[in-house]
Chains A and B, each alone.
Chain A
Amino acid sequence: MSMAENTSAPRFATSEEVDFVIVGSGSAGGIMAKELSTAGFTVVVLEQGPHLTAADFRHDEWAIDQNTELTWSARQGHPQSFRRNADEVAEAGAGRLGYAHNVGGSSIHYSGNFWRMRPLDFNEASVRGTIPGTNFVDWPITYEELEPYYTKVDWEIGVSGQQGPWDPPRSRDYPCPAMPVKSSDVLLERGAKALGLTAYPAPVAILSQPHNGRPGCIHCGFCNGYGCEANAKSSTMVSMIPLALASGNCELRTGCTVARVNTDDAGRANEVVYWDASGAEQSQRAKAVVLCANGAETPRLLLLSESSQHPDGLANSSGMVGKNLMFNCHASAVGLFEHPVNAWKSIPATRVIHDYYALDPNLGFYGGGGIDGRHTSRGAPMASAMNALFNGPTWGSEYKRNLSRNFSYTAAFSGHCTSLPLETNTVSLDPGLKDKFGRPALRTTYMDHPDDIATAKFFMERCLELMDAAGAIQKYGFYPENGQRGSVHLLGTCRMGNDPATSVVDRYNRSHDVPNLFMVDGSSMVTSSRGQPTMTIMALAFRAADNIIGFARRGEI
């Protein structure tokens, strides 16, 4: 399957007003490109990174983890800074928001855990009650409104799974059966049964069998952090971009970093300024602009697009651009078992426990999540060797002897849970640090809400119980008790809502302030999900595209 070249893709002049410029070609941008272009609209997609394909992906851990070849860092001229609260001066390199810079965005290197949200996630503030000091509110849409688009993700992106006992209702079955169970998840299931819980097949955006012209997974084990060498992982690069390019209406410009979105005298977005692959400044004119740059870069771009008309940044009359950043919290237990688990083979997780989806309010804190089985170190050989588990020696002969034990005889049970939206957790522009283009660097301000940390501790304790029940010989657990310093889940920074005073986009992902500007990615999320947001980001993108097409056809943009 070769897709980097496509002769039917058009080339538009930058002076030509195209129907849409889409910033970003990731989970949301790839979908938006395919939907808008196949509906007949002219589209230019601007992507910072290159168009890699399966043949470019290697099991090269040094390139991925240390040289940050997909995710980029200060090494590539993109430093970030981090601080706990607004009173601190942010420190370069003290924390990091992670996302891949390539066609397909982070859908290239994600694990593909594709949990749908449940009806409760959309109206939990009403059901459970608001939480003082937070921006925990209901979504302006319901599960029922989003369900058709979840199903569209299942079939068009490609999801494997099996409907579980507590899963929300679905209008169509999964296109591919669940992935084969791994030993780590057989152990999870054993533990669950002993404790009266239910572990059932985890839904994943990885094909268990051929679908839409792509092959099934070959279980190589290099999912989390890596691009798929087999095209079995359902990125938008393999599922959407080829269809967008084949439409004849979509031009994909790679190596293009967007500087700002300009507006005309009427306050409408009219051009997108960017540096092209050679570093030259360009400006593409457009009738409408869709930002799909993720929950970090979309708000950053809006803040960078300040003008006399928009002194606090574009689309920011609410003051909410960049605020309410949510990471999802997490916890894990690691256990040692008598026989080989080999959790480093195949996909990250094949079973999930959702009995703790919504924790009992009587516990005294808000939260909820799921637990799945994993490899102790993402299945990564080098990372695994770095971790001397169970307080073992970190060097010398005994350390060396323990390496195979740590790699193959252990499993991790991992809790993935909620983060509350807080106005104090933000993405903003660093006043001192600059990136390679001279732009203010991404500055993150983040401290988990006490309830999020209490929830993570709760999940660690359950994971440890599961380890005992599964027969672990040794175990230990951990959670971010002092708060997280980064994440790959970048949510909430242009939140969706009906009230322009407290939200950035409306229920159709349209800016409350700028009628022809749309923000479609993790930034729209009102609450955090239970720890696996990409399925919802993609469903929101399909839904937004449907509505945007309607607006455009009715002349309402």
Chain B
Amino acid sequence: MNDRDTTERELSRRQFLAGLSTAAKGSLIVLSLPAILTACRQSEEQAVEQADNPDSSIRYKLLSDELATELDAISARIVPTDETPGAREAGSVRFMDVVLADGRLDQLETLQTGVTALNDRANSQFGVSLFSELSETQQDELLTAIETSPFFSTVRFLTVASLFAFPQYGGTGPDVGYNLIGMTHAHAYMPPFGYYDADYAARGE
């Protein structure tokens, strides 16, 4: 997986540089090249950093395994895995662990209390001890009931953020999120930027 990511980044860099020669027409973008190369290099460094730290066997810094299991189940309903990667592939729970340990310990209690309450609901409504043991439909029902709570808002915020998290924050890189929102991972663009400015000059607008 990490090898593939690195290869894709290298590919996008090569494609980008190849594209320059035809797109730049000797103009301003060529003069910007050192900056672009710096950006590409940074991207590669990040990829290498990621490859050096697969760390899937390392225990969490902060979260208990029990808490992590329930947070994983919740985040997987917030951004489910379907035909495209979701929260699980983004490493949401590991990201939560890393960023909570980084000066956000006050949020841990919010998560612990919330998960306990959610497990209690799972027990009283469906007779199981853990939220994670419920079917997806049952999980959605319980989450819908608490979707305006500070607990749910916190987990949702962290889950969504994790889609874009760089490895230093425990994420698997921003590609899961970038692909979902339709952002290309280039470091430079040329006009046209979108549909409406493509023929702007020709239309005389």
Contacts and interface: CB of A to CB of B under 8 A. Distances in A.
- Verify that A and B bind, or say they do not: yes
Interface of A: 54-55, 58, 60-62, 66-67, 75, 180-187, 189-190, 208-210, 215-221, 229-232, 337, 339-346, 381-382, 384-386, 394-397, 399-400, 403-404, 406-408
A344 B183 CA distance: 9
Contacts of A394: 147, 156
B126 interface: no
A44 B140 CA distance: 61
Given A62-B166, A341-B194, A400-B86, A218 B183 contact: no
Given A183-B197, A341-B195, A381-B174, 14 more contacts: A190-B205, A215-B31, A216-B31, A219-B188, A219-B190, A219-B191, A220-B186, A340-B194, A345-B189, A346-B189, A400-B84, A406-B181, A407-B183, A408-B181
A12 to B, nearest CB: 34
A58 B195 CA distance: 28
Nearest to B201: A181
A409 to B, nearest CB: 9
Given A216-B31, A229-B35, A407-B181, A396 B195 contact: no
B199 to A, nearest CB: 10
Nearest to B157: A386
Interface stretch (B50-58, B61-69, B72-80, B114-122): B72-80
Interface string B73-108: 000011110101010000000000001001100000
B60 interface: no
A221 B32 CA distance: 15
Contacts of A399: 78-79
Given A397-B82, A407-B181, A210 B31 contact: yes
A381 B194 contact: no
B180 interface: yes
Nearest to B81: A400
A409 B196 CA distance: 11
B193 A62 contact: no
B28 A216 contact: yes
A35 B182 CA distance: 46
A82 B159 CA distance: 29
A339 B195 contact: yes
A8 B35 CA distance: 25
A401 to B, nearest CB: 9
Nearest to A228: B35
Nearest to B193: A345
A218 B32 contact: yes
Contacts of A220: 39, 186-189
Contacts of B180: 385, 400, 403-404
* Interface pairs A-B: 10 shortest CB-CB: A183-B194, A339-B195, A216-B28, A404-B182, A183-B196, A218-B188, A342-B194, A230-B35, A407-B181, A215-B32
Given A54-B35, A230-B35, A216 B29 contact: yes
B193 A346 contact: yes
Interface of B: 28-29, 31-32, 35-36, 38-39, 42, 77-80, 82, 84, 86, 99, 102-103, 140, 143, 147, 156-157, 160-161, 163-166, 169, 174, 177-178, 180-183, 186-197, 200, 205
Given A183-B195, A210-B28, A231-B35, A381 B156 contact: no
B28 A209 contact: yes
25 contacts: A62-B99, A62-B164, A181-B200, A182-B197, A183-B196, A184-B194, A185-B197, A186-B197, A218-B36, A218-B188, A219-B189, A221-B189, A229-B187, A342-B193, A342-B194, A344-B183, A384-B181, A385-B177, A395-B78, A395-B147, A396-B77, A400-B80, A400-B180, A404-B182, A407-B182
Contacts of A187: 196
Nearest to B95: A62
Nearest to A408: B182
Contact of A339 (B140, B181, B196): B196
Nearest to A395: B78
B9 to A, nearest CB: 14
A400 B78 CA distance: 8
Contacts of B161: 62, 66, 382, 386
A472 to B, nearest CB: 12
Contacts of B79: 395, 399-400
A389 B162 CA distance: 20
A232 B187 CA distance: 14
A218 B29 contact: yes
B160 A386 contact: yes
Contacts of A404: 180-182
B156 A395 contact: yes
A215 B180 CA distance: 32
Contact of B28 (A215, A221, A396): A215
A395 B177 contact: no
Nearest to B165: A62
A85 B134 CA distance: 50
Contacts of B192: 183
Nearest to B35: A230
Contact of B205 (A180, A189, A397): A189
B196 A218 contact: no
A66 to B, nearest CB: 7
A211 to B, nearest CB: 10
Contacts of A75: 103
A230 B32 CA distance: 7
A345 B194 contact: yes
B177 A343 contact: no
A404 B103 CA distance: 32
Nearest to B143: A395
A341 B200 CA distance: 13
A385 B159 CA distance: 10
Given A62-B169, A181-B200, A381 B177 contact: yes
A339 B193 CA distance: 12
Contacts of B166: 60, 62
B38 A54 contact: yes
Most buried by B among A75, A219, A384: A219
B194 A385 contact: no
Contacts of B86: 400
Nearest to B169: A62
